[in-house]
Structure 1
Amino acid sequence: MNNIGNRIMVIGSPGSGKSTFSTKLAMITGLKLIHLDKEFWNYGWIETAREDWVKKQKCLISGDKWIVDGNYGGTMDIRLEKADTVICFELNKAVCLLSYFKRVITNVNKVRPDMPEGCPEKFDFEFMKYIWNFPKTSGQRNIDRLEISRDKKIIVFKNRREANKCIIEISKEYEEIINEIT
Structure 2
Amino acid sequence: MNKSVGKIIECHRQHAQGSRDDVSGFVDPGLAVQDAQDLYAAGEKIRGTDEMKFITILCTRSATHLMRVFDEYQKIANKSIEDSIKSETHGSLEEAMLTIVKCTRNIHSYFAERLYYSMKGLGTWDGTLIRNIVSRSEIDLNQIKCEFKKLYGKSLSSMIMGDTSGDYKTALLNLVGSDS
Larger Cα-atom Rg: 2
TM-score range, shorter chain: under 0.3
Which has the larger share of helix?
2
Query: TM (normalized to structure 2)?
Result: 0.26
Query: TM (normalized to structure 1)?
Result: 0.26
Which has the larger share of strand?
1
